[in-house]
Amino acid sequence: MTTLTVKLGERSYPIFIQPSLLSQGNKLADYIKTDKAVLVTNDLVDPLYSQTIIASLPDIKIDKIVIADGEQHKNLASFEHVITQLLNMSAARDTTLIALGGGVIGDLTGFVAASFQRGMPFIQIPTTLLSQVDSSVGGKTAVNHPLGKNMIGAFYQPKAVFIDTKTLQTLPAKEFSAGMAEVIKYGIIYDKAFFEWLEQNTAQLIAQDVDALQYAIARCCEIKAEIVAIDERESGLRALLNLGHTFGHAIEAEQGYGNWLHGEAVAAGMVLAAKAGQMKGWMQTEEVQRVIALIEAFALPITPPTDMGYDTFMQHMVHDKKVQAGKLNYIIPKAIGEAIVTPELDETLLKNLLN
C-alpha cells in the first residue's frame, strides 16, 4: 500500500493506493465518524463495486443514491436530485458522503458535500484512471452549466481518498487511455524523469501491470498533492495542471460533452500547447515530437476535430476560467518537465496553430 498526504494544515488528508483496497473496509470505517453514510454512484459503477464497499462496512448503515451515467448528468439537475434524496433520507451535517465512480461522480458529490447544510464530510473512491490520478485529489468540485464546463463549484477537500487500482480492470480501454492523458500531463509540466519513465513503460501500463500502475498513480498523486499544498486555490502554480485544458474544454464544448472524452480533448489540447511552445521558440522540435509520440502511444488523439478552427476555439475559450483582467491565460510547456502560465499568445500565432 502507498500512503500519501495532501498537506493542508487541519484540512490535511491521506490518499491510500492499493489493489483490492475496496474489500478492506477497516480503514474506510476510520473516516466515517457516525453510524450512517451515503454512497453516491452511477448506474454503471453501482453493480460493479457498491456491494463490496457496503459489505466491508457491516457496522455502518449505508444509504445509496444512484445517478444516471455520463458527463451530461454533471449538472444542477443532478445536484438538486442528490440534495433532495439526502433530505428524504434525513441526512445530517455530520453524515459522510462517499463518492464512488469517476470524475463526474466525484465532482458532483464533492459539490453537494460542500453545499449541503453548508458542508458535510466526504470521501473519494475514484474508479477511473483519470479520477485516480487527478480529479479525486485537490478539492475542486463542480457541475457544468450549459454555457460552460465546471462553471458552478467550490474548493472543498475530501476527508480521505481510497484508490483501488484493481477497479481499472473493468474500465473500457478508451477511458483508460483518456486517463493516461492526465498522467502524461504531470510529466510534461513537472517531472521530466517521470515523462521518461512513461516512455519506457508504455507497454507495461497498457497491459495494466500492477506495479507499473501503482507507481504511475502514486507519482501523479504525489505531484498533485505537492502542487495543491503550495497553491490550493489556484493563484499560481496549480494552474499548470490545466495544461491542454483551455484548448480541450473548447473541444469538449463544441463537440458536445461526452462525445470527446475529457482526457481525449486534453490530449489534443496538450499537443496544441506543445506546438505553441515550439512556435514561441521555447520547446525543441525533438521534444514536441516526443510529446506527440507518447500521447499517440496511448491511442489518444493528437489533432483537434477537423471542423474546428481559430474562430470556433476562441468562441469557447473566452468563457475559460483562466481569463483574468480580460486576458486569456495559456499553459505552455517550455521544455519537457517545465511549463508556464502566459497570456502571450498573439492572434497570428493562434491562427497559425488552430487553422
Ligand X SMILES: NC(=O)c1ccc[n+]([C@@H]2O[C@H](COP(=O)([O-])OP(=O)(O)OC[C@H]3O[C@@H](n4cnc5c(N)ncnc54)[C@H](O)[C@@H]3O)[C@@H](O)[C@H]2O)c1
Strand 160-164 relative to strand 13-18: parallel, antiparallel, unpaired? parallel
166 annotated as belonging to a binding site for a ligand: no
Q: From edge to edge, which strands make up the β-sheet containing 2-6? A: 2-6, 13-18, 160-164, 122-126, 96-101, 36-42, 61-67
Give the CB-nearest residue to ligand X. 103
Closer residue to ligand X in complex, CB, 237/349: 237
Work out how close the CB of 275 gets to ligand X at its nearest, in angstroms, rounded to a whole number: 22
73 annotated as belonging to a binding site for a ligand: yes
104 annotated as belonging to a binding site for a ligand: yes
Instruction: Tell me the catalytic residues.
Output: 118, 140, 182, 224, 234, 238, 242, 245, 249, 262
Work out how close the CB of 210 gets to ligand X at its nearest, in angstroms, rounded to a whole number: 16
C-beta of residue 166 within 8 angstroms of C-beta of residue 141:
no
Distance (Å, rounded) from C-alpha 176 to C-alpha 179?
5
Number of Cβ within a 10 Å radius of residue 303:
11
Q: What is the secondary structure of 149-193 as a DSSP string?
A: EEEEEEE---SEEEEEGGGGGGS-HHHHHHHHHHHHHHHHHH-HH
DSSP state of 246: H
Residue with cell 489518444: 300
Closer residue to ligand X in complex, CB, 140/219: 140
Closer residue to ligand X in complex, CB, 138/304: 138
Read off the C-alpha cell for 273.
500547447
182 annotated as belonging to a binding site for a ligand: yes
Work out how close the CB of 34 gets to ligand X at its nearest, in angstroms, rounded to a whole number: 26
105 annotated as belonging to a binding site for a ligand: yes
Contacts with ligand X by CB under 6 A lie at 42, 44-45, 48, 69, 71, 74, 101-105, 107, 127-128, 130-131, 134-135, 138, 140, 150, 167, 170-171, 175, 178, 262-263
**Angle 173-190/192-200 helices, nearest 10 degrees?**
140
Work out how close the CB of 90 gets to ligand X at its nearest, in angstroms, rounded to a whole number: 28
Residues in the chain: 355
Number of Cβ within a 10 Å radius of residue 312:
17
Closer residue to ligand X in complex, CB, 156/313: 156
Closer residue to ligand X in complex, CB, 121/158: 158
Strand 148-155 relative to strand 160-164: parallel, antiparallel, unpaired? unpaired
C-beta of residue 276 within 8 angstroms of C-beta of residue 353:
yes
- Beta-carbon contacts of 67 under 8 Å, excluding residues fewer than 6 positions away, are 40, 41, 42, 43, 73, 78, 81, 82, 105, 108
Work out how close the CB of 103 gets to ligand X at its nearest, in angstroms, rounded to a whole number: 2
Work out how close the CB of 137 gets to ligand X at its nearest, in angstroms, rounded to a whole number: 8
3 annotated as belonging to a binding site for a ligand: no
Phi, psi of 240 (to 5 degrees): -60, -30
106 annotated as belonging to a binding site for a ligand: yes
Closer residue to ligand X in complex, CB, 66/91: 66
Q: Which segments are annotated as binding site for NAD(+)?
A: 69-74, 103-107, 127-128, 140, 149, 167-170
Q: Which segments are annotated as binding site?
A: 69-74, 103-107, 127-128, 140, 149, 167-170, 182, 245, 262
Q: Which segments are annotated as binding site for Zn(2+)?
A: 182, 245, 262
